[in-house]
Amino acid sequence: MNSEETKPTDFIREAVAEDLKNGRFNYVRTRLPPEPNGYLHIGHVKAFMIDYLIAKENNGELILRFDDTNPTKEETEFVDAIIEDARWLGIEWKEVTFASDYFALLYDWAVQLVKKGLAYVDDQSPEEVSVNRGTFTEPGKESPYRNRSVEENLDLLERMKNGEFPDGSRVLRAKIDMSHPNINMRDPVMYRIIHEPAHHRTGNKWKIYPLYDWSHGQNDAMEGITHSLCSLEYLNHRPLYEWFLEQLDVFRSRQIEFARLNLNYTVMSKRKLRRLVEENYVNGWDDPRMPTLRGMRRRGYTAEAIVDFVQRMGISTVATSNAGVIADIAFLESRVRDDLNKHSLRRMAVLKPLKVVIDNYPDDLVEEMDAVNNPEDPNAGTRKIPFSKVLYIEQDDFRETPPPKYYRLYPGNEVRLRYAYFIKCAHVVKNENGEVVEVHVTYDPTTRGGDSPDGRKVKSTIHWVSARHAKEAEIRMYDRLFTKEDPEEGEDGFLACLNPNSLSVHTGYVEPRLAQTKPGDRFQFERQGYFCTDPDSTDDNPVFNLTVSLKDTWAKIEKKSK
RNA sequence: UGGGGCGUGGUGCAAGGGCAGCACACCAGCCUUUGGAGCUGUGGAUCUUGGUUCGAAUCCAGGCGCCCCAGCCA
């Protein structure tokens, strides 16, 4: 970041700067608190970047702390996946910790609250707890067990910890105010009893597990986290967050909330994503159509583009949808194009081949044409592409009867074959169904390289591949997964508006240079889009994924004229 | 319904009492050996009502709308 650029500023950065200035803190430490119960998606990136960058910008530290307080949901598989994805994004942390690292200390703190008369063991059933919590308009009722002696509470808590009671039979609750207008303050549950399954790290050692409210803030204090940045849904929890720290008289971390990030034309909830995978609407968590980081990575999105997108989205407290801020996927795509345009090697590939025969070209001649690898980057150099009498061009680049404004190949029209020659369409060959299967053209030998010595212009340049030299390849074209901007609306509505054309597989031809490619390689297929080599790719059967198409002005014109 | 939060072009974010601006999208044009990229330009917004003020997107009050909270989820 150079000095020309104005520093990114937002209400969180301002608050952090203010805290440093007025001495509330003299350092900055943030934490990244994923729950290891699923794969990361684009929505997570916002929180990740905020936590990472705010620490970094202030010469502070980031701690990656897994929020593993619920053994019924969390798995080691996901901690590994989350670490891998976060690294891929370029996020760096000082250390990795787990909420479960602090279970023993947290228990001590709970004992302290019990001793101060600020927490008690409640024997009510879950149903009773719920009923007695009251409603938005009516206050709750105090539990009959609320005023037990400290000694009895201590004894019961100890026995809960030792596993003497069955799941659901008792909880530890903070003693606050059962008629508080903020329901989170109506004696929130701190510990519940869970015997099975074993915790992914602590095994069967613990029979009681803390809830989020009785864990997160305490862990923040234990780790000296200065700024605990979270999403808007936790705003209502802040009074409780602060109450605990105050009663405990420990380090006072500051919680600040911001709006989550979402994308249109996709779903982000874990439940819905899981259904897509488990019911085989997509081919796994890393399906290129998924908004997961693994999916986007396989699709060919770069970490740089994703981070740039998230950065440019900014931060706010706007809360007009339950999903937070909903970004237009077109904006993400524009960041991807911007990045890939500068860095991708250009190649020629024909997705839907149409055979072209140059009638006046020598049968056995093969010429090597010079092509530039990236017009945006002179250092990318040039390459040779073989040219011969029989070629493949894109079906879309030929029309027997051209619509208005169409200036590609059609009978009588002259176009340029990129880096090769001008050709003019002479006649066509059709099959028994009347479909054009072969286009015959003549070429102008004086236009080699693509320029006419007589200064003659053509309106169109099309890409091609030499039939004899091209390599067959599988090309997977992707479109948005859903046809509606907000697939969430309605019950199973999100499945009802799945886009049936979100994946289409083509067998095309690519220039010989593309025969040696390895998974993750990125290219621009000229005039079509950015593609990357899929992990399924082999030397015998190269497989390419569409990352994002190029802007298609002709498609727009054509659509408008309809 | 009680509590809390939020309302700026289609979308996202600025303007922190002084000319409402940027990006994406959209539209028009220029340029072009990618109908790509690039460049230029047009259109379009302060939820509403009232108040304070010379002056309000900004401060105040009311209204309206949307979002969050009644898990032993996070």
Domain residues of chain A, as ranges? 3-258, 263-346+473-561, 349-463
Which of the nucleotides lies closest to A376 (Cα–C1')?
B37
Active site residue A260: yes
A525 vs A506: CA distance, rounded Å: 14
**DSSP element (H, E) containing A114:** helix A103-115
Spacing of A374 CA from B13 C1' in Å:
33
Locus of tokens 């070429």: A443
Per-residue pLDDT of chain A (562 residues; tens, 9 = 90+): 333 334 558 999 999 999 999 999 999 999 999 999 999 999 999 999 999 999 999 999 999 999 999 999 988 999 999 999 999 999 999 999 999 999 999 999 999 999 999 999 999 999 999 999 999 999 999 999 999 999 999 999 999 999 999 999 999 999 999 999 999 999 999 999 999 999 999 999 999 999 999 999 999 999 999 999 999 999 999 999 999 999 999 999 999 999 999 999 999 999 999 999 999 999 999 999 999 999 999 999 999 999 999 999 999 999 888 889 999 999 999 999 999 999 999 999 999 999 999 999 999 999 999 999 999 999 999 999 999 999 999 999 999 999 999 999 999 999 999 999 999 999 999 999 999 999 999 999 999 999 999 999 999 999 999 999 999 999 999 999 999 999 976 656 899 999 999 999 999 999 999 998 999 999 999 999 999 999 999 999 999 999 999 999 999 999 888 7
Per-residue flag: A44 CB under 7 A of strand B:
no
Tell me the fold of A349-463.
Ribosomal Protein L25; Chain P (2.40.240)
Please report the pLDDT score of residue A8 as a whole number: 58
Locus of tokens 């990352």: A547
Which of the nucleotides lies closest to A129 (Cα–C1')?
B72
Long-range contacts of the stretch A320-327 (C-beta < 8 A, 24+): A321/A262, A323/A260, A323/A262, A323/A268, A323/A488, A324/A43, A324/A231, A324/A232, A324/A259, A324/A260, A324/A261, A324/A262, A325/A259, A325/A260, A325/A261, A325/A262, A326/A262, A326/A263, A326/A264, A326/A486, A327/A261, A327/A262, A327/A263, A327/A264
- Which residues on adjacent β-strands are paired with residue A262? A326
The encoded tokens of residue A385 equal 């592409």
Domains A3-258 and A349-463 fall in the same CATH topology: no
Please report the pLDDT score of residue A433 as a whole number: 96
Per-residue flag: A53 CB under 7 A of strand B:
no
What is the β-pairing status of strands A414-417 and A461-462? parallel
Spacing of A445 CA from B55 C1' in Å:
73
Q: Which of A73, A270, A275, A399 is catalytic?
A: A270
Angle between helix A329-343 and helix A303-313 axes, rounded to 10 deg: 140
Active site residue A270: yes
Quickly count: other Cβ atoms within 10 Å of residue A501's Cβ: 11
Query: What dihedral do alpha carbons A160, A162, A164, A166 form, nearest 10°?
Result: 60
The class level of CATH for A3-258 reads alpha beta
Tell me which residues from 463 to 522 on chain A have a beta carbon below 7 angstroms from nucleic acid strand B: none
Please report the pLDDT score of residue A490 as a whole number: 60
Spacing of A482 CA from B3 C1' in Å:
37
Residue nearest to nucleotide B8 (CA to C1'): A318
Residue A535: DSSP 8-state: T
A335 vs A342: CA distance, rounded Å: 11
Spacing of A16 CA from B20 C1' in Å:
28
Spacing of A81 CA from B70 C1' in Å:
35
Quickly count: other Cβ atoms within 10 Å of residue A186's Cβ: 22
A240 vs A142: CA distance, rounded Å: 18
Please report the pLDDT score of residue A1 as a whole number: 32
Write down the ipTM of this complex: 0.96
Q: Which of A65, A161, A170, A260 is catalytic?
A: A260
A55, A28 contact by CB (below 8 A): yes
Per-residue flag: A70 CB under 7 A of strand B:
yes
Please report the pLDDT score of residue A3 as a whole number: 34
Nearest to A16 by CA among A27, A6, A8, A3: A27
Which of the nucleotides lies closest to A461 (Cα–C1')?
B33
Please report the pLDDT score of residue A337 as a whole number: 98
- Which residues on adjacent β-strands are paired with residue A356? A391, A439
Tell me the fold of A263-346+473-561.
Ribosomal Protein L25; Chain P (2.40.240)
A43 vs A466: CA distance, rounded Å: 44
- Which residues on adjacent β-strands are paired with residue A545? A476, A532
User: A14-48: b or e for each residue (b if 16 or more CB lie within 10 Å)?
Assistant: ebbbebbeeeebeebbbbbbbbbbbbbbbbbbbbb
Using CA atoms, how far residue A532 sits from A147, A345, A384, A519, in Å, is 65, 11, 21, 7
Per-residue flag: A228 CB under 7 A of strand B:
no
A536 vs A210: CA distance, rounded Å: 43
Per-residue flag: A450 CB under 7 A of strand B:
yes
A229 vs A50: CA distance, rounded Å: 8
Nucleotides on chain B within 7 angstroms of protein Cβ: 1-8, 10-16, 23-27, 33-38, 65-74
Which of the nucleotides lies closest to A375 (Cα–C1')?
B37
Which of the nucleotides lies closest to A318 (Cα–C1')?
B6
The encoded tokens of residue A457 equal 């212009």
Active site residue A304: no
Locus of tokens 């929130």: A188
Residues near A204 by beta carbon (within 8 Å), at least 6 away in sequence: A195, A198
**DSSP element (H, E) containing A466:** strand A464-466
Spacing of A319 CA from B48 C1' in Å:
19
**DSSP symbols for A129-179:** HHHHT--SSS-----TTTT--HHHHHHHHHHHHTT-S-TTS-EEEE-S-TT
Helix intervals (H) in A300-414:
303-313, 329-343
- Which residues on adjacent β-strands are paired with residue A424? A414, A442
N-term to C-term CA, chain A: 47
Spacing of A236 CA from B3 C1' in Å:
9
A117 vs A121: CA distance, rounded Å: 11
Per-residue flag: A311 CB under 7 A of strand B:
no
Spacing of A319 CA from B63 C1' in Å:
20
**DSSP symbols for A183-213:** GGGSS-EEEEE--SS-BTTTBTS-SEEE-GG
Please report the pLDDT score of residue A104 as a whole number: 98
